[in-house]
Amino acid sequence: MSSVGTDEIAKISRRIRACNYLSVAQLYLRDNFLLERPLQFDDIKPRLLGHWGTCNGINVAYANLHAVYKNDPDFLFVLGPGHGFPALNANLLIDGKLAEVDEKASPDYYGIKYVCHNFSWPDGFPSHASPMTPGIIAEGGELGYALANAYGLALGHPEKTLAVLIGDGELETATALDSLNLRNLLTGDRNGKVLPFLHLNGYKISAPSIYARKSERELNEMIRGFGFAPMWIRGNDPEDFQEALGKKVDSPFYILKTEKGESGPNRGHLAHQIPLKNPASNYEELKKLEEWLKSYHFEELFNKEAGFTL
């Protein structure tokens, strides 16, 4: 059974679309952020630096968890792959969290302009989650610490629930893998709850992840071996995500299986960083980028007067 109603399911889908749009806009655009006129070469940043491939999955996880936990002040979303910063930044912008630390990042047209233009830009936002991001306690470039940080935070804090998104590449680090053992420290009711989510999008930088090469059975056995109950969420459908969240099991370990780069122009390792490399000089790529941005129908989710209508 889904843990939220039909209205909420529709809202989750809208939020994912909005955040995907804003992720792509941060990566590529220096102007024309709402596509108010046809995209032209000058609208594209001269140096494209960032990561798209992981963003869709982060936005799916964030939107679904936000729907359930938005009113719980003791809930935290912990992101392992800090290179998925455009997705995190988009969510923080929409929720007004960025504006709490930087008034120019308001959840309106001016904030969208400011955040998109200044992503991965000299003296602007870095390309990865960093200490200037609200809620971040570790530099986002180095993979592996998310789960350990979450378990540390849950120790002695029974009120806390921490959802941790771990990359399948990240889980190849010794730190992340061994952190699965920390579950054994958190028994009893004096500690908070940690909900690990493996983002099984199949690839790390340019190669398949080891976990993508395991059969489902092998992966399930491994997860069970650490004392967790594997819970699969296949694809982006919020109904499936909410159904998994709604199931009452002890020590769940969610496996979110997506295609790396989903909703973009290519998939897998080709989507890891910048999928369309030269839209500032190649007309065909410029048009593909425009189509990609338009596919989210951002105009249904935001307008200059009403702001976000999610």
List interacting residues with ligand TPP (CB under 6 A). Answer: 53-54, 81, 83, 141-144, 167-170, 173, 199, 201, 203-205, 209, 260
How do strand 302-303 and strand 307-308 relate by DSSP bridges? antiparallel
Of the two residues 175 and 295, which places its CB atom closer to ligand TPP in the complex?
A: 175
On whether the CB atoms of residues 44 and 29 are closer than 8 A, the answer is: yes
Provide, rounded to whole angstroms, the least separation between the CB of residue 124 and ligand TPP. 21
Of the two residues 24 and 34, which places its CB atom closer to ligand TPP in the complex?
A: 24
Provide, rounded to whole angstroms, the least separation between the CB of residue 60 and ligand TPP. 12
Per-residue DSSP letter, 280: T
Measured at the CA of 197, the angle between CA 196 and CA 200, to 5 degrees, comes to 140
What is the rounded CA–CA span in Å between residue 66 and residue 76? 10
Of the two residues 45 and 51, which places its CB atom closer to ligand TPP in the complex?
A: 51
Provide, rounded to whole angstroms, the least separation between the CB of residue 189 and ligand TPP. 32
Of the two residues 120 and 201, which places its CB atom closer to ligand TPP in the complex?
A: 201
Of the two residues 52 and 302, which places its CB atom closer to ligand TPP in the complex?
A: 52
Closest CA to 129 of 74, 62, 67, 196: 62
**207 Cβ neighbours under 8 A, 6+ residues apart:** 269
Provide, rounded to whole angstroms, the least separation between the CB of residue 128 and ligand TPP. 9
What is the rounded CA–CA span in Å between residue 139 and residue 89? 14
Provide, rounded to whole angstroms, the least separation between the CB of residue 199 and ligand TPP. 5
**301 Cβ neighbours under 8 A, 6+ residues apart:** 14, 17, 18, 21, 308, 309, 310
